[in-house]
Structure formats: C-alpha cells, structure tokens
C-alpha cells in the first residue's frame, strides 16, 4: 500500500464516519458540558500553566489539558454545539491515525494496521465520545497515550515522558501507561529499565496521592477494592468490548491460539487500562472504554497478520452490521435527550434576555438527563455571573427563595417537553387570581403546597397563600379536582376558606370530578389578603405516597360577579 492509497483510505474512513455520525451535529449539550463552559473560560491561563506542571494531586478534579479545551471552546464557540462536535471528531481522526502508526511500529502490515484502525474508528462502545464533548478528556488521554507509546518505541524517551504527563493531565487513566511500557520492554524491547524510572516515579506519586488524598470517601468516585466491585464492573465492561454480554472475557483466550509476544502486549495494555475502572463501580460508562480499546484494536491488527483471512473476514462481516445496529439505537436515544436539553436551555436564553436582573431561580422539574449542575452552569454562562442561586421547589429553602425580589420560576412540562418561565419583578403587584399551570406565581403560595401535576396542585391539610384583593371583588372562587379514590376512601371531604383570619365559607365535596365553589365576598378595601384553606379530614392515598394531602386545587382567587 503506497502513501496515496493509504491517504485515500483514510479520507474514505473519515467520510464514512461523518456520514454515520452526522446526527451528532444535531445533538446538544449535556449537564457536564454546560457546567464546564460556564466556568472554564473564566480561569486565567496562568492557572492552567501551574496545574499542568505541578506534580501534586488536584482535589477539585481539575484536568488542565481537557479543561483548556472548554476554556477556548467556551470563549469562541459559545452555545454553537456543532463546532464542539467537529473538534472532537478531528481529534478522534488523529487518534485513528496514531493507532495505525503504532500498529505499524509493532510490525503489523499496512493492511493489518488498517483493520485495527477501522475497528477503533467505529466502535460503538465509544459512541458518547463521538457525540458528547464532555468526553474530550478520554479523547485527549488517548491521543497522548498513543503519542507516548509511539515516541517510546522510537527511542525518544524524554518526549515520550512529556506525552505521558499530558495524558495524565487529560485523565487519570493514563497512570497505567508506564506498566504498558514495562510490558513492552519485557516482551518486545531490550529490557532497558532505566528510561522507565521517571515514568514509574510519576505514576506511583500520582497513584498514591489519588488514593490517600482523594476527598471522595463514600460516594460514586470512591475506589472500592472489593470482590463485589469487580462483580459489578467486570461484566459491564466485558460486555462492551464486542457489544455482547461477557464478550470481552474471550480476549484472554487469544494467546492460546496466537502464540506471539505482541498478542501478550496488546492484551496486557487492554487489561491494564481497565484496572482503575474495575474498582469504580459507581462510575461505569461505556465511553470509558475508549483508551482500553486501543489495546483491542492493536490486538486485532496483530491477529489479522497471523489468523486465517477467512476468519478475520467473517469477524468483520458479523461485527459491522452489529456495530451499526447499536449506532442506530444509541443515536435515537441521544437525539431524544438532546431535544429536551435544547428546549430547556433555549428557554433559559430567552429568560436571560428578558429578565437580566434575576439572581435567584427556583426549578420545578427538569429533563431526566439534565442534572441540576447543568442547569446551574447554563444559568451562570447565560447571565455571566457566579452569584446565582438555584433552588429545587421541593427543598426547604424554596419558600424563602420565592419571596426574594428578583426571582424566576422554571417549570418543566415533561409531557410537552417544554420549559415555562415566570419572573417576579421588584415592585410588581401580586395576582388576585391564581391558576395552577406554568404561569403560577409560586412566590404567592406560602405554606402547604406540593408540586404541579396535571393541571392542579395538591395542598396539605392546611395551606396558605397571598393574593391581591381588588376593591371591586365581590366573590371568592375555588376550583378543585376531587379524585374517585378520595370519595371511595373517605366518603366526603370538606374545606374551610379563611381570608385575613376570618372564615369566608365552607363546603363539603361528596362526589368526584372537577368542581367549582364560590362564596360571596363582603365589601372591603383593595390590598394584600392572606388566604388559608383548611381541609378535613386529611387524606393519605397509600403507603407508596407518604404525603398528607388536602385538596387538588386547580385555581382560586378573587373575582367580580356582575350584578343586575
């Protein structure tokens, strides 16, 4: 294979990859990405320089190489998601080329190296790496690990060490690279151990600091050196190698068929890069296979030269459609998540333009795949401030947060995949009538209210609210939804409505369905009114729902009834 033919095949591979993964450009940011682009562009360049050269463990999990990507992308790309994706695709193509080069350095023929590179280029265990910029850390770790290996095999030990250092500063998985280099020296090299001393010294230092100084003592980021951890992680990652349950456990059988030291090296590289992942049962993600898959790709390249051609052809005939089937499945899921996240953040953009003074946000629901730190990151990026407060409506502090002068409520409708926002402007008057929907001024609901459901909001047995009473109001209206279970279990349920501490009226509900009750309102002055609803008896629906419930309120407030 001459150079031009190789270049043509590489361009063809890249074109096929872009066609197969064109949906990635229709994706959108995940929570970690929104978080990173909110703060990374604000970090001074000097901080990246200091953390890059320091040999000390970084408690904040700051990875200067990967976070520098978000530093630059956040500044120049903004929220233009396709530009983020294009960069990570270019980086992946670089890694595919480096896999080919490394396979050639290990003695694989051009054709065999190409099969390994092809396997690495399209493997759907790494789907998220191709579609989500948050995994740029794995991409960069792979780039510098490959560069370090290639430079070491070429005798450029100093440059190899620098590449190893950058790999570790991209992601901690690179701490296993010196062990891979030692395996090379033992099986294929000249057993020159002196050049490996700085590699092992750095890896040992980083490893011990990571174990002893890790602030994560009992959470998902805690290493667990137990058989139980292995029983969780090994089946998971073994199922990702060939995208079939436990398929990766067949890899140790390859040396029994192909008795060659290069096979041992490739297998050792795969297993060594999996070692840190094997003891993190709380952080299992398919994308973490990206760096270990380098070893599998090299193993495939070596096997292509040694195994019967028909066997390798059969492998790819089976693997390519199976791999593509997983691509279609993952693509559908990723685009559904991206659509919800895009809708949410787009609504936040509109809010930031219309209500720039807001500093406190109360969220009522969120997309399943958008965690709270992603929402907070999006708000920090859009408002260009780090003093913003984000509170869950179900948290104890939500009631106080809703009473602040500049507050916005973020209400997510999962059925319509829509975010509705409403802001309280300083000095704006209270509403006199409240409907339970996305426009509800939650700051007027004071005590005893549960989150919004299908057009109503449950109260506790006692609930209070604040309304503005117009001078011309002459009646009070309450609309509720009485469920059939309430009538079946209780037979009846009653409510007493008090305005400014005075009983306005009572009503007893004896049938289910939507019902509206009105009470005449005595003359009074315009002004703020305290409304209290007392429900008896209280209702507890089942053991699965421990809440003490009152009424499912659809709307309530003051109104004016025209008189003849």
| 184-215 per-position pLDDT tens digit | 999 999 999 999 999 999 999 998 888 887 77
409 touches 362 (CB < 8 A): yes
| 392-425 per-position pLDDT tens digit | 988 888 888 988 888 999 999 888 899 999 998 7
Q: Does the structure show a pLDDT above 60 at 76? A: yes
- What pLDDT shows up at residue 405? 82
Where is mean pLDDT largest: 246-260, 326-340, 451-465?
Answer: 326-340
- Would you call 469 exposed, middle or buried from its count of C-beta atoms within 10 A (0-12, 13-18, 19+)? buried
Q: Which of 384, 434, 432 is nearest to 409 (CA)?
A: 434
- What pLDDT shows up at residue 426? 75
Region 21-34: what's the mean pLDDT? 96
Please give the CATH architecture assigned to the domain spanning 429-564: Sandwich (2.60)
396 touches 417 (CB < 8 A): no
C-alpha distances in angstroms, 71 versus 41, 78, 297?
A: 4, 11, 32
- Separation of first and last alpha carbons in the chain: 97
Would you place residue 564 in the very low, low, confident or very high pLDDT band (cuts 50, 70, 90)? very low
Give the separation between CA 114 and CA 121, rounded to whole angstroms. 10
529 touches 469 (CB < 8 A): yes
Mean pLDDT of the residues in the chain: 93
List the domain boundaries for the chain: 23-307, 429-564
- What pLDDT shows up at residue 562? 66
- What pLDDT shows up at residue 517? 96
343 touches 417 (CB < 8 A): yes
């Amino acid at each position: 294979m001459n150079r031009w033919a190789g270049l043509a095949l590489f361009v063809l591979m890249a074109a096929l990859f872009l066609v197969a993964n064109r949906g990635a450009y229709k994706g959108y940011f995940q929570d970690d990405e929104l978080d990173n682009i909110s703060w990374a562009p604000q970090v001074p360049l000097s901080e990246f320089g200091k953390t890059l050269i320091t040999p000390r463990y970084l408690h904040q999990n700051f990875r200067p190489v990967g976070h520098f990507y978000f530093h630059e992308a956040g500044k120049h790309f903004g929220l233009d998601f396709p530009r983020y994706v294009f960069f990570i695709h270019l980086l992946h193509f670089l890694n595919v080329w480096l896999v080919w080069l490394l396979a050639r350095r290990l003695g694989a023929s051009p054709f065999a190296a190409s099969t390994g590179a092809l396997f690495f280029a399209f493997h759907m265990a790494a789907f998220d790496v191709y579609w989500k910029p948050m995994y740029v850390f794995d991409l960069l770790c792979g780039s510098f690990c490959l560069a370090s290996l290639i430079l070491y095999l070429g005798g450029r030990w100093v440059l190899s060490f620098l590449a190893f250092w950058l790999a570790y500063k991209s992601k901690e998985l690179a701490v296993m690279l010196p062990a891979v280099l030692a395996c090379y020296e033992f099986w294929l090299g000249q057993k020159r151990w002196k050049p490996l001393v700085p590699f092992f010294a750095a890896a040992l230092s980083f490893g011990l600091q990571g174990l002893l100084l890790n602030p994560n003592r009992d959470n998902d980021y805690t290493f667990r050196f137990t058989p139980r951890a292995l029983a969780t992680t090994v089946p998971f990652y073994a199922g990702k190698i060939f995208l079939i349950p436990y398929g990766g456990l067949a890899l140790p059988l390859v040396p029994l068929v192909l008795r060659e030291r290069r096979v041992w090296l490739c297998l050792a590289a795969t297993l060594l890069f999996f070692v840190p992942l094997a003891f993190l049962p709380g952080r299992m993600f398919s994308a973490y296979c990206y760096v270990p898959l380098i070893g599998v790709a090299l193993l495939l390249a070596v096997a292509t030269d040694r195994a019967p051609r028909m066997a390798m052809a059969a492998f790819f005939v089976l693997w390519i459609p199976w791999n593509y089937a997983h691509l279609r499945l993952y693509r559908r899921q990723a685009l559904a998540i991206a659509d919800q996240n895009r809708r949410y953040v787009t609504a936040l953009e509109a809010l930031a333009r219309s209500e720039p003074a807001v500093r406190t946000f109360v969220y009522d629901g969120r997309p399943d795949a958008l965690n709270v730190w992603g929402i907070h990151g999006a708000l920090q990026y859009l408002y260009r401030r780090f003093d913003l407060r984000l509170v869950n409506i179900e948290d104890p502090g939500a009631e106080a947060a809703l009473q602040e002068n500049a507050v916005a409520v973020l209400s997510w409708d999962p059925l319509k995949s829509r975010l509705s926002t409403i802001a309280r402007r300083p000095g704006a008057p209270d509403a006199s009538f409240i409907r339970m929907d996305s426009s509800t001024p939650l700051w007027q609901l004071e005590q005893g209210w549960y989150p919004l459901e299908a057009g109503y909001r449950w109260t506790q047995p006692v609930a209070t609210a604040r309304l503005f009473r117009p001078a011309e109001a002459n009646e009070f209206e309450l609309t509720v939804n009485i469920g059939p279970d309430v009538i079946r279990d209780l037979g009846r349920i009653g409510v007493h409505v008090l305005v400014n501490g005075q009983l306005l009226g009572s009503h007893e509900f004896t049938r289910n369905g939507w019902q509206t009750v009105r009470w005449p309102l005595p003359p009074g002055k315009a002004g703020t009114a305290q409304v209290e609803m007392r429900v008896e008896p209280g209702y507890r629906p089942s053991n699965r729902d421990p809440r003490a419930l009152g009424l499912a309120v659809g709307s309530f407030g003051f109104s004016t009834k025209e008189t003849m």
